[in-house]
Amino acid sequence: AVRPFNEIPGQWKNSVANLYTFWKMDGLRNIHRIMVHNFNMYGPIYREKVGYYESVNIIKPEDAAVLFKAEGHYPKRLRVEAWTSYRDYRNRKYGVLLKDGEDWKSNRIVLNKEVISPKVQGNFVPLLDEVGHDFVARVYKKIERSGQNEWTTDLSHELFKYALEYAQHFIDCITLMFKTTSPMLYFPPALLRHTGSKIWKDHVEAWDGIFNQADRCIQSIYRQLRKNPEDGEKYPGVLASLLMLDKLSIEDIKASITELMAGGVDTTSITLLWTLYELARHPDLQEEIRAEISAARIASQGDTVEMLKMVPLLKGALKETLRLHPVAVSLQRYITEDIVLQNYHIPAGTLVQLGLYAMGRDHRIFPHPEQYRPSRWVRSQSHYFRGLSFGFGPRQCLGRRIAETEMQLFLIHMLENFRFEKKRQVEVRSTFELILLPEKPIMLTIKPL
C-alpha cells in the first residue's frame, strides 16, 4: 500500500529549531553538502521544513520523471522572494524568470523563438566565435608580458568579462545580487526591508545597478536601430532581435532582457572555469579533446555550425562539469496533481525538489561519481533523467542554447591555442551563494601550444 505523506522521513516538525540548527551548521554556504548528508541519513526521499520553506526532496532519475510529468501546463519553481520583492518595491515588471501562469507562458513562447529555437543558433555562432577569438588574443598578450612563455592566473575575472563583454560595474552588481539573495531564501525580505537591514539595502543597490546598465544598453541598441533601419537584413544580435519583437509590450521585453543579461554572466563563466580546472587535472583527456577539435576543424571546412556537430567529447566534458559542479543545487516544481514518490503519497501543491548536486555525486546513479569522465555522456549507460543541469521541459533554462554554444566555442578556441596545467593539485570545493561557486580561487597555468 502507498504510505501517507506524514510518514515521509525527515526534519519537518519543528521548523524554528531546524532554522537554528541550519544556521549553526553554516547551512547557507553548505546547502549542497547538507542535502547529500540528508539523503545518506533518510534515504532517497525526505521532507524538510526550514523557516517558512517546506519541501519534499528526491534524488532518483525515476522520481524526477514522475515529478516532471506532474508539473502541469504552467510549471512553477520556487519563487525567489528577494527578486520579486525588489521589483515590487521599485515598481518594475517581472520578466520570464519570475512570471507565472498564462502571463509566463505567452511571454516564454515568444522569447523561445528568438533565444532557444534550433533555427537561431546559426545567428549567434559568428558573434560568439569572434568573442572567443578575441579572448585568445588577450591571453597571448598576457603570456607575452609575463616574459616566461606561460601565465599563471585565476582566470575568473577575465572570464566574467568574456561573458558578453559587459562593464565591470555591471558584473560586480550581479555577483553582489546573488550573494545577498541567499540569506533571503530563509528570512523574508519584507521583514529585512522594514528593519532597514544591510542585506536588503545591498540587494536593492545591486539590482539598481543591473537595471540601470540594462536600460542604458537597451537605449543604445534602440538608437542604433533607428539610425540604421536598413541594417534590417543583417542579424543584429540577440538583444536587438528581442527589441524588434512586436508581440510583447516594451516593458515586458525590457524586463526579460534584463534577466537574460544578468543570468548570462556568472553561470557560464563559472562553468568554463570548472571545466578548465578539470582538464588541467586530466592532461590525457585534455589531449583527446584537443584531437577531436582538430579533426572537426578540418572536416567542417570553415563551417562553424557544422563543426559544433562533430565534438561529442567536448560536449560530454561540459555535461560532466555540470554534473560535478552544477550551477543550480536543485530543481524544484510545485506539482499540480497527486503523485506517488518512493511509495509515499504526495498531494498536489507540494514543493518537490530534485537534488541536482546530490544526484550528480551518487554512485548508484553515476558509477564512480568522483571520476571526471566525459565519455560517460557519449557511450554506454542510460541518460534517462540524468542530464538535467539546465532544468527540464518548457520551464528549462531559456539561455541554454546561448550558454552551450558560447561555452563550446570558448573551449574550442582556447584548446586550439593553449595547454592548461595545474601547478599544485588541490581539491577545490563548492560554496553556495545562490548559485554554486568555487570556494577559493582556481589557479591555472596557461602555455602556448
State which of residues 10, 263, 316, 355 lies at the interface with ligand HEM (CB under 6 A).
263
**97 makes contact with ligand HEM (CB under 6 A):** yes
Residue 329's binding partner out of ligand HEM, ligand 2DC, none, with CB under 5 to 8 Å set by partner kind: ligand 2DC
**59 makes contact with ligand 2DC (CB under 6 A):** no
Residue ranges in 96-197 assigned as alpha helix (H) = 101-115, 121-146, 156-162, 168-181, 189-194
Report d(CA 246, CA 320) in Å as an integer. 39
Reported as half-sphere exposure (CB side, CA atoms, 13 A), residue 33 has a value of 11
Is-contact 278 375, C-beta < 8 A? no
Backbone angles phi, psi at 394, to 5 degrees: -65, -15
What is the H or E stretch that residue 266 is in?
Answer: helix 266-281
Q: 358-367: which pairs have CB atoms within 8 A and are 24 or more residues apart?
A: 358/32, 358/35, 358/36, 358/39, 358/59, 359/59, 359/60, 359/61, 359/386, 359/388, 360/322, 360/323, 360/324, 360/326, 361/36, 361/324, 362/39, 362/59, 365/59, 365/60, 365/61, 366/323
Least distance in angstroms from the C-beta of 164 to ligand HEM: 8
Least distance in angstroms from the C-beta of 328 to ligand HEM: 4
Least distance in angstroms from the C-beta of 362 to ligand HEM: 18
Is-contact 98 76, C-beta < 8 A? no
Report d(CA 223, CA 215) in Å as an integer. 12
**389 makes contact with ligand 2DC (CB under 6 A):** no
Task: Mention every residue, 6+ apart, whose C-beta is less than 8 A from residue 305.
Answer: 121, 122, 125
Interface segment toward ligand HEM; rule CB under 6 A; list 165-173, 189-197, 273-281, 320-328: 320-328
Interface segment toward ligand 2DC; rule CB under 6 A; list 136-144, 194-202, 256-264, 405-413: 256-264
Using alpha carbons, select from 53, 145, 94 the residue that is nearest to residue 248: 94
Residue 185's binding partner out of ligand HEM, ligand 2DC, none, with CB under 5 to 8 Å set by partner kind: ligand 2DC
**190 makes contact with ligand 2DC (CB under 6 A):** no
Count of C-beta atoms within a 10 Å radius of residue 302 = 8
Q: Which is nearer to ligand HEM, 268 or 286 (CB)?
A: 268
State which of residues 155, 171, 289, 398 lies at the interface with ligand HEM (CB under 6 A).
398
Is-contact 95 259, C-beta < 8 A? yes
**399 makes contact with ligand HEM (CB under 6 A):** yes
**325 makes contact with ligand HEM (CB under 6 A):** no
Residue 271's binding partner out of ligand 2DC, ligand HEM, none, with CB under 5 to 8 Å set by partner kind: ligand HEM
**327 makes contact with ligand HEM (CB under 6 A):** yes
Is-contact 431 179, C-beta < 8 A? no
Task: Mention every residue, 6+ apart, whose C-beta is less than 8 A from residue 184.
Answer: 81, 82, 85, 192, 199, 200, 203
State which of residues 61, 209, 236, 263 lies at the interface with ligand 2DC (CB under 6 A).
263
Least distance in angstroms from the C-beta of 236 to ligand 2DC: 22
Residue 78's binding partner out of ligand HEM, ligand 2DC, none, with CB under 5 to 8 Å set by partner kind: ligand 2DC
**411 makes contact with ligand 2DC (CB under 6 A):** no
**285 makes contact with ligand 2DC (CB under 6 A):** no
Least distance in angstroms from the C-beta of 61 to ligand 2DC: 18
Report d(CA 18, CA 11) in Å as an integer. 7
Residue 396's binding partner out of ligand 2DC, ligand HEM, none, with CB under 5 to 8 Å set by partner kind: ligand HEM
**174 makes contact with ligand HEM (CB under 6 A):** no
Which residues sit at the interface with ligand 2DC, rule CB under 6 A?
77-78, 80, 97, 185, 259, 262-263, 267, 327-330, 332, 397, 434-435
Which residues sit at the interface with ligand HEM, rule CB under 6 A?
77, 96-97, 108, 259-260, 263-264, 267-268, 271, 322, 327-328, 331, 389-392, 395-399, 402-403
